[in-house]
């Protein structure tokens, strides 16, 4: 989730539990090998054993269309010892697709295979390669071909967002189509798309035949969703993350943002998260409406502290 779910928010979400693995926002690869500082800027977890503070491994994700250049970048990235590397063939953004990145490549399964094969060959054997795709560009006619191209090219696991590029993020997600991919390839398949609740997650599993799920917007809107799903799977009471319990995470996020983001964008970053939280917390809706016109960092921090009941001396 470019521009939102970066390392600052990963720290908060993984700290709340239930997450087995995280994937970074994409690292755009064009025609050159990136210096290591680019990888560590986007995935600073690489400087701390490759995990978040909660111990959740983070796979850096590469996006591009040139097999040899992607392979060379993957080889350099591997020197930073990530737990794995992911390839992005799922991004539907027009600005990305115009430059031959993301989901637009799903019309070229031969290229997908060449990329996966080249990157896999460039990596040490102990570093797994994974990939994410959609069901296609304009339709689903080549989805099995694309999945096979990635699997036979060396991907050890495949995440499938259950919509085409044309579908974007418009409901519904076609989880039943992921079941066809699951049956067609010999590697684990993870279902993704339109999972907002535990009930959605269980329905996605039933229709996709996938035990594993990737959460994106659903975990941002309901940060307690991964832990709730984990509790369900363990046969434990399913918790609900209250607004009061979420408050420390929001405050911690604000402090992280202040330390790492330029002042003019600080308030906007927290408002982005509040915007998603409106879906599950009425208090977030009220807070968002009160805070949306506050921009100066000091004023915003004071207003956020008041919303969360944080003593002013902590600001």
Per annotation, catalytic residue among 91, 95, 146, 210 = 91
Pick from 253, 260, 160, 241: nearest CA to 208:
160
The number of residues making up the chain comes to 315
Is 217 annotated for ligand binding? yes
Going from the C-alpha of 238 to that of each of 21, 105, 199, 203, 278, the distances in angstroms are: 21, 40, 12, 17, 21
Is 192 annotated for ligand binding? yes
Pick from 21, 118, 136: nearest CA to 74:
118
95 catalytic, yes or no?
A: no
Is 216 annotated for ligand binding? yes
Is 193 annotated for ligand binding? yes
Is 271 annotated for ligand binding? no
Instruction: Yes or no: say if 210 and 182 are a contact pair by the CB < 8 Å rule.
Output: yes
The label of the residue with tokens 């918790």 reads 239
Is 99 annotated for ligand binding? no
Going from the C-alpha of 107 to that of each of 17, 80, 93, 131, 143, the distances in angstroms are: 37, 32, 16, 16, 9
Pick from 9, 286, 276: nearest CA to 169:
276
Residues annotated in the binding site for FMN, as ranges?
Answer: 61, 132, 161, 192-194, 216-217
Residues annotated in the binding site, as ranges?
Answer: 61, 132, 161, 192-194, 216-217
Q: Indicate which residues carry an active-site annotation.
A: 91
């Amino acid at each position: 989730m470019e521009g939102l779910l970066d390392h600052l928010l990963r720290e908060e979400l993984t700290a709340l539990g239930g997450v087995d693995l995280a994937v970074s926002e994409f690292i755009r690869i064009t025609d050159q090998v990136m210096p290591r500082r680019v990888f560590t800027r986007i995935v600073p977890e690489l400087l701390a054993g490759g995990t978040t503070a909660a111990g959740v491994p983070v796979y850096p994700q590469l996006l591009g269309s040139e097999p040899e250049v992607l392979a060379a970048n993957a080889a350099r990235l591997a020197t930073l010892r990530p737990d794995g590397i992911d390839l992005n063939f799922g991004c539907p953004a027009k600005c990305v697709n115009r430059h031959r990145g993301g989901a637009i490549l799903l019309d070229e399964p031969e290229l997908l295979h060449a990329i996966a094969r080249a990157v896999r060959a460039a990596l040490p054997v102990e570093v797994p390669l994974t990939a994410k795709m959609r069901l296609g560009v304009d339709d689903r006619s080549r989805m099995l071909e694309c999945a096979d191209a990635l699997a036979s090219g060396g991907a050890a696991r495949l995440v499938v967002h259950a919509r085409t590029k044309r579908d974007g993020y418009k409901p519904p997600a076609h989880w039943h189509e992921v079941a066809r991919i699951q049956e067609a390839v010999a590697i684990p398949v993870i279902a993704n798309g339109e999972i907002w609740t535990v009930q959605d997650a269980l329905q996605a599993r039933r229709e996709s035949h996938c035990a594993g799920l990737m959460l994106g917007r659903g975990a941002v809107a309901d940060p307690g969703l991964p832990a709730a799903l984990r509790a369900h799977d363990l046969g434990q009471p399913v918790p609900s993350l209250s607004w009061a319990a979420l408050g420390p995470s929001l405050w911690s996020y604000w402090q992280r943002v202040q330390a790492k983001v330029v002042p003019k964008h600080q308030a906007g970053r927290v408002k982005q998260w509040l915007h998603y939280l409106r879906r599950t917390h009425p208090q977030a809706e009220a807070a968002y409406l009160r805070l949306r016109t506050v921009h100066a960092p000091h004023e915003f921090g004071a207003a956020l502290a008041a919303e969360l009941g944080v003593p002013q001396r902590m600001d």
